[in-house]
Protein backbone atom coordinates (compact mmCIF):
# COMPACT_ATOMS: atom_id res chain seq x y z
CA UNK A 1 0.00 0.00 0.00
CA UNK A 2 1.28 3.41 -0.97
CA UNK A 3 1.22 5.71 2.02
CA UNK A 4 2.79 8.68 3.75
CA UNK A 5 3.04 8.57 7.53
CA UNK A 6 3.74 11.76 9.41
CA UNK A 7 5.22 12.31 12.85
CA UNK A 8 2.99 13.08 15.80
CA UNK A 9 1.49 16.28 17.15
CA UNK A 10 3.82 18.86 18.67
CA UNK A 11 3.36 21.56 21.29
CA UNK A 12 6.11 24.15 21.35
CA UNK A 13 6.88 27.59 22.75
CA UNK A 14 7.60 30.65 20.61
CA UNK A 15 11.25 30.78 19.60
CA UNK A 16 11.76 27.02 19.78
CA UNK A 17 12.89 24.93 16.84
CA UNK A 18 11.03 22.00 15.33
CA UNK A 19 11.43 19.35 12.64
CA UNK A 20 8.50 17.19 11.54
CA UNK A 21 8.72 14.21 9.26
CA UNK A 22 6.87 12.40 6.51
CA UNK A 23 7.85 8.82 5.65
CA UNK A 24 6.84 7.27 2.37
CA UNK A 25 6.31 3.57 1.77
CA UNK A 26 4.97 1.32 -0.95
CA UNK A 27 6.64 3.25 -3.75
CA UNK A 28 10.04 4.58 -4.77
CA UNK A 29 10.46 7.85 -2.87
CA UNK A 30 12.86 9.29 -5.43
CA UNK A 31 10.31 8.96 -8.25
CA UNK A 32 7.94 11.64 -6.94
CA UNK A 33 8.21 15.09 -5.45
CA UNK A 34 6.80 15.58 -1.94
CA UNK A 35 4.82 18.68 -1.09
CA UNK A 36 3.84 20.38 2.14
CA UNK A 37 0.46 22.02 2.72
CA UNK A 38 -0.49 24.21 5.68
CA UNK A 39 -3.98 24.51 7.11
CA UNK A 40 -4.42 27.05 9.85
CA UNK A 41 -7.28 26.48 12.31
CA UNK A 42 -10.63 26.64 10.49
CA UNK A 43 -8.95 27.93 7.33
CA UNK A 44 -8.23 26.65 3.85
CA UNK A 45 -5.28 24.88 2.29
CA UNK A 46 -2.03 26.71 1.57
CA UNK A 47 0.67 25.30 -0.73
CA UNK A 48 3.99 25.68 1.07
CA UNK A 49 6.34 24.09 -1.42
CA UNK A 50 7.74 20.87 -2.80
CA UNK A 51 10.96 18.89 -2.56
CA UNK A 52 12.49 16.27 -4.81
CA UNK A 53 13.74 13.57 -2.41
CA UNK A 54 16.15 12.34 -5.05
CA UNK A 55 18.31 15.44 -5.19
CA UNK A 56 16.70 17.71 -2.53
CA UNK A 57 15.76 20.31 -5.15
CA UNK A 58 13.09 22.55 -3.62
CA UNK A 59 10.45 25.05 -4.69
CA UNK A 60 9.11 27.29 -1.94
CA UNK A 61 6.04 29.45 -1.83
CA UNK A 62 7.61 32.94 -1.88
CA UNK A 63 5.28 34.00 0.94
CA UNK A 64 6.99 31.47 3.22
CA UNK A 65 10.55 31.61 1.97
CA UNK A 66 12.98 31.85 4.83
CA UNK A 67 10.43 30.86 7.42
CA UNK A 68 10.67 27.10 6.91
CA UNK A 69 13.15 24.64 5.46
CA UNK A 70 12.32 21.50 3.54
CA UNK A 71 14.75 18.61 3.41
CA UNK A 72 14.79 14.90 2.67
CA UNK A 73 16.75 11.74 3.40
CA UNK A 74 16.19 9.35 0.52
CA UNK A 75 17.99 6.53 2.33
CA UNK A 76 15.08 6.32 4.76
CA UNK A 77 12.36 7.57 2.36
CA UNK A 78 11.61 10.55 4.56
CA UNK A 79 10.92 14.23 3.96
CA UNK A 80 11.15 16.91 6.62
CA UNK A 81 9.78 20.35 7.36
CA UNK A 82 11.59 22.43 9.93
CA UNK A 83 11.50 25.76 11.72
CA UNK A 84 14.41 27.43 13.48
CA UNK A 85 12.29 29.82 15.53
CA UNK A 86 8.56 29.14 15.83
CA UNK A 87 5.92 31.84 16.13
CA UNK A 88 2.37 31.59 17.41
CA UNK A 89 1.21 32.15 13.83
CA UNK A 90 2.84 28.82 12.86
CA UNK A 91 0.07 27.03 14.74
CA UNK A 92 -1.56 24.85 12.10
CA UNK A 93 -2.04 21.37 10.70
CA UNK A 94 0.72 20.46 8.29
CA UNK A 95 0.18 17.84 5.60
CA UNK A 96 2.72 16.21 3.37
CA UNK A 97 1.52 14.89 0.03
CA UNK A 98 2.98 13.04 -2.93
CA UNK A 99 2.96 15.01 -6.14
CA UNK A 100 1.92 12.90 -9.11
CA UNK A 101 3.76 13.21 -12.37
CA UNK A 102 2.99 15.66 -15.15
CA UNK A 103 0.43 13.30 -16.69
CA UNK A 104 -1.55 13.81 -13.50
CA UNK A 105 -0.99 17.56 -13.73
CA UNK A 106 1.21 17.63 -10.64
CA UNK A 107 -1.74 16.91 -8.38
CA UNK A 108 -1.27 15.64 -4.83
CA UNK A 109 -2.48 12.04 -5.12
CA UNK A 110 -1.39 10.59 -1.76
CA UNK A 111 -1.61 12.52 1.52
CA UNK A 112 -0.17 12.00 4.96
CA UNK A 113 -2.48 12.05 7.96
CA UNK A 114 -1.26 15.49 9.05
CA UNK A 115 0.86 16.80 11.92
CA UNK A 116 -0.71 19.35 14.25
CA UNK A 117 1.76 21.97 15.44
CA UNK A 118 0.71 24.20 18.34
CA UNK A 119 2.89 27.14 19.32
CA UNK A 120 1.93 28.77 22.59
CA UNK A 121 3.63 30.39 25.51
Under the rule (CB under 8 A), what is the footprint of other proteins? 35, 37, 44-47, 49-50, 59, 61-63, 95, 97, 100, 104-109, 111-114
- Nearer Cβ to other proteins, position 38 or 83? 38
- Nearer Cβ to other proteins, position 80 or 108? 108
- Nearer Cβ to other proteins, position 32 or 95? 95
* Beta carbon of residue 41, minimum distance to other proteins (angstroms, whole number): 12
* Beta carbon of residue 57, minimum distance to other proteins (angstroms, whole number): 12
Indicate the burial class of 114 (C-beta count within 10 angstroms; 0-12, 13-18, 19 or more).
middle
Q: Which helix (H) or strand (E) holds 120?
A: none
* Beta carbon of residue 35, minimum distance to other proteins (angstroms, whole number): 8
Query: What is the Cα–Cα distance from 4 to 26, expressed in whole angstroms?
Result: 9
Amino acid sequence: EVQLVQSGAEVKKPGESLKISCKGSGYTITSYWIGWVRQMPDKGLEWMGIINPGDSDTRYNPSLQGQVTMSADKSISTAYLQWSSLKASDTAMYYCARQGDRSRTNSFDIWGQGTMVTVSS
